[in-house]
Amino acid sequence: MKTKDPYPDGWKPTTRYPDPAVESLDPSFDKYRLPSAGIERLATGMRWCEGPVWFGDARHLLWSDIPNNRIMRWTEETGHVSEYRSPSNFANGHTRDRQGRLVSCEHGGRRITRTEYDGTITTLMDNFEGKRLNSPNDIVVKSDGSVWFSDPVFGISGNYEGYKSEPEIAQNVYCLDPETGEAIVVADDILGPNGLCFSPDESILYIVESRGIPNRKILAFDLGKDGRTLSTKRVLIDAGPGTPDGMRCDVDGNLWCGWGMGDPELDGVMIFAPDGRPIGRIALPERCANLCFGGRANSRLFMAASQSIYALYVNVAGAPGG
């Protein structure tokens, strides 16, 4: 009996180690590569994957399949892929708060939500000064419990990833105190704010400027002593022809960035040192939108790449809060 091809599109995992798709661009990246670990494809068949988040206590990965209006789940123990929530209100980015609850960006609801322990959904924020948010995109939770998120217009620009609508407010980055409900604008001068993450010590906030001119950029901001004020805006990385989207830091402060669009030679993940130098690359057959660390030691990289989810064990752990 002929076995069904698990990779009908022709993609195959490597049979050679080290995986040639994991490339050192600088000798400093060599220590993060595992010589006998290759890229694995865990799931495929989605329309547009985004917002992966790891639940170690449940041993599963959640991510958004935005146009299909659902959140998906991959279970580590069995490899089973299932729907976690459908409809999802066109959810995009996700993270966990410091109590382990799922915190999500929703295009459809134009809001930030929290999934409580009993499964009920709490709206944390859906407007600012009486005006509806645009379409919250990416999100992180700081160690003090504050929720930081970007709010571009991508999810209301058409009916594919949300509901077409006119924006009521500027494209800002916000910091929300979920206990008091108080929110402030921390950045209002970014062209298409997208992915964001903190450095391991939370002294720097990185933000992707996805409509930067002439190129997309990854910006860096210093956090003030109050833990809320951003200053010293600077371009850490000029993406050139590349397209950074979501990103996370490892414990050494390196940035692991979803990358791609246009030239297929750019598709995958780019890794940058804290000073912005490119040090590594993970080539994928699809554009990578976002990623997260997870697994037993928080050293398995999960990559949401267009229609599929990929994973790679690496020799460094992700920073907390991703």
pLDDT in tens, 198-251: 999 999 999 999 999 999 999 999 999 999 999 999 999 999 999 999 999 999
pLDDT recorded at residue 189:
94
pTM comes to: 0.96
> Active-site residues: which are they?
245
* Binding-site residue ranges for a divalent metal cation: 50, 194, 245
Could you report the per-residue pLDDT of 274-307, keeping only the tens digit for each? 999 999 999 999 999 999 999 999 999 999 999 9
pLDDT value of residue 6:
58
Q: What is the mean pLDDT of residues 84-94?
A: 98
The DSSP line for 138-168 is -EEE-TTS-EEEE--SGGGSSSSSS------
- At position 107, the amino acid (one-letter code) is H
> What does the mean pLDDT of the chain come to?
95
Contact status, residue 259 vs residue 242, Cβ threshold 8 Å: yes
pLDDT at 7 over 70: no
1 has pLDDT over 80: no
Give Cα separations from 243 to 231, 239, 250, 265 (angstroms): 25, 7, 20, 12
Task: Read off the pLDDT band of 20 (50, 70, 90).
Answer: very high
pLDDT confidence of residue 3: 41
Q: What is the mean pLDDT of residues 3-8?
A: 55
Q: What percent of the chain has pLDDT over 70?
A: 97
141 or 4, which is more confident?
A: 141
Query: Both tokens of residue 118?
Result: 């009993």
Question: Which CATH architecture group holds 22-313?
Answer: 6 Propeller (2.120)
> Is it the case that residue 94 has pLDDT exceeding 60?
yes
pLDDT tens figures, 56-83? 999 999 999 999 999 999 999 999 999 9
- Tens digit of each residue's pLDDT (9 = 90 or more) over 24-59: 999 999 999 999 999 999 999 999 999 999 999 999
What token pair was written down for 307? 């229609």
Burial of 118 (C-beta count, 10 Å sphere; 0-12/13-18/19+): exposed
pLDDT confidence band for 9 (50 / 70 / 90): confident
Where residue 261 falls among pLDDT bands split at 50, 70, 90?
confident
